[in-house]
Each structure stands twice: as structure tokens, then as C-alpha cells.
């Protein structure tokens, strides 16, 4: 199996020649998983479950994980099993310190240079996306954002979530690419004909997870990168410039 994380530049450019629609997940994709942002969300989710269901911290943490694996997101599990109002959960877990993120001028330049439409598709909220993009220095780069509210709270990786995203944007998946930090969220995009890119963080403990280590063996992942800015940079150039 070829190394999907070390594709020559010209070969990479050729693979994306037909792509003029660029779709990015938000959390742990546009910023490193090793940053201290998403751990804040994780803590807030446990707190919310603990308070809403009157559980111990340990029981809340276990239930949070169980709902994530069984229902795609903790929120989905809470809605299905406990009739929790989604807005209450989303407001609580995204009330965090976004200033811990650092400006990424290289990523700004690489995304800006991409030709075509650029979208964010997140299981979070548009408000959280806006608050995240600002300290990263990525504000104003995207044509639109689509969130968990737009999917009627059905999360990626569910097919209906992607169908609602495609319906909202009107994009042609055959001309699009999808950048994600979770390999299972790339299954549906790949089936629709999108170019799929798994964004990893080699400095993050979860990089040792088997789904990351074996990414080269996963058919629905076309490329793997631990440096999104460097991966994108040649894709904003014509092939003869690469």
C-alpha cells in the first residue's frame, strides 16, 4: 500500500485538478488536536451530562463516551435518550476560551490560494466556528459554514447529514474534497466521489490510535497529512508551478 502521507507534489496536484470545492471540518482539523481547545469542550460535555442527569463525574464521563460511540455525538445520545434541548447543550459546551489558539499565517495563505468555493462543515455550531477562526487568523476565507443545526442535529458520519449539506450548498461531490480528523467521517464523502484527506496530529496521543496508524490501509482515505498548510500549498498553484 503506498504511503498516503508522502505523495509527490505533481502527483498530488494532478489528483486535485478537477477539484474546485474545498470542504473542511473544524475541530482538530483547522487547528492541531494537541492544542488545548477541544479538551475544554470535552470537559464541558462531561460537566453538562453530570449536571443534567445528576450523575457522578465518572458515570457522566462514561456515558458521554458511550453516547459518542453509539450515536455519533454525545448530543445525539442525550437527545435520543433524555430529550435534552440541543441549544442548551451546544451553548454550554462551546463556552470556552478560544484565545488559546495561535494564528496560523501559513494555513491562511494556503487556504486563500485555493481556487473555487470553500466551506466549513462541522458537528459544532457556526458560532463556535466563527469564534475559532478568529484567533487562528482564518476569518473571511470561507464562502459558507454548515453546522449541526443545519443537519437538524444529525451528526457526521451519518449519510443524511452529508445529504443535507449537499442540498444546502448545491455542490457537486465529484468536484469536491473533504478534510477531516476522523477517518470514519470520510466514508460517506468517499462513497459520493469526494477526495478524502485525513488530517492527523503526530504530537497528539491519539495519533497512536490504530485508525491513524493504519490510515494508509483504509480505502476511503485518499490522503493523510499531519501538516494541512503544507499539504494545501501546492494545490493552490497550477501544476506547472509545482
Is pTM beyond 0.85? Reply is yes
Report how far apart, in Å, the C-alpha atoms of 59 and of each of 40, 55, 62, 63 are. Answer: 19, 6, 5, 6
pLDDT value of residue 7: 76
Residuewise pLDDT in 10s, the chain (242 residues): 345 767 788 888 999 999 999 999 999 999 998 898 999 999 999 999 999 999 999 999 999 999 998 998 999 999 999 999 999 999 999 999 999 999 999 999 999 999 999 999 999 999 999 999 999 999 999 999 999 999 999 999 999 999 999 999 999 999 999 999 999 999 999 999 999 999 998 655 554 444 444 555 678 999 999 999 999 999 997 544 44
| Alpha-helical regions (H) of 54-158 | 57-71, 74-82, 86-93, 105-113, 126-136
Radius of gyration of the chain (CA): 18
Rounded Cα–Cα distance for residues 88 and 32 (Å): 27
Tell me the backbone φ, ψ of residue 91, rounded to 5 degrees: -65, -40
Domains of the chain: 9-34+99-241 (3.40.50.1000), 38-93 (1.10.150.450)
Q: How far apart are CA 165 and CA 169, in angstroms?
A: 6
CB 25 within 8 A of CB 196: no
Q: Cα-flanking dihedrals φ and ψ of residue 23, to 5°?
A: -115, 125
Amino acid at each position: 500500500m503506498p504511503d498516503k502521507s508522502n505523495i509527490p507534489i505533481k502527483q498530488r496536484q494532478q489528483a486535485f485538478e478537477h477539484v474546485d470545492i474545498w470542504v473542511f471540518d473544524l475541530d482538530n482539523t483547522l487547528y492541531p488536536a494537541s492544542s488545548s481547545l477541544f479538551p475544554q469542550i470535552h470537559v464541558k460535555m462531561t460537566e453538562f451530562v453530570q449536571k443534567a442527569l445528576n450523575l457522578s463525574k465518572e458515570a457522566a464521563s462514561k456515558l458521554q463516551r458511550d453516547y459518542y460511540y453509539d450515536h455519533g455525538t454525545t448530543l445525539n445520545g442525550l437527545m435520543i435518550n433524555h430529550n435534552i434541548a440541543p441549544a442548551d447543550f451546544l451553548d454550554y459546551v462551546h463556552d470556552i476560551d478560544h484565545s488559546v489558539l495561535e494564528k496560523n499565517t501559513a494555513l491562511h495563505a494556503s487556504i486563500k490560494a485555493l481556487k473555487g468555493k470553500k466551506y466549513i462543515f462541522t458537528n459544532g455550531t457556526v458560532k463556535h466556528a466563527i469564534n475559532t477562526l478568529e484567533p487562528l487568523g482564518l476569518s473571511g476565507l470561507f464562502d459558507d459554514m454548515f453546522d449541526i443545526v443545519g443537519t437538524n442535529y444529525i451528526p457526521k458520519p451519518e449519510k443524511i447529514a452529508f445529504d443535507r449539506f449537499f442540498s444546502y450548498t448545491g455542490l457537486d461531490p465529484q468536484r469536491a474534497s473533504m478534510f477531516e480528523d476522523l477517518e470514519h467521517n470520510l466514508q460517506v464523502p468517499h462513497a459520493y466521489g469526494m477526495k478524502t484527506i485525513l488530517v492527523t496530529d503526530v504530537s497528539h496521543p491519539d495519533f497512536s490510535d490504530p485508525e491513524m496508524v493504519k490510515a494508509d490501509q483504509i480505502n476511503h482515505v485518499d490522503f493523510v497529512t499531519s501538516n494541512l498548510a503544507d499539504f494545501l500549498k501546492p494545490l493552490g498553484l497550477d501544476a506547472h508551478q509545482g
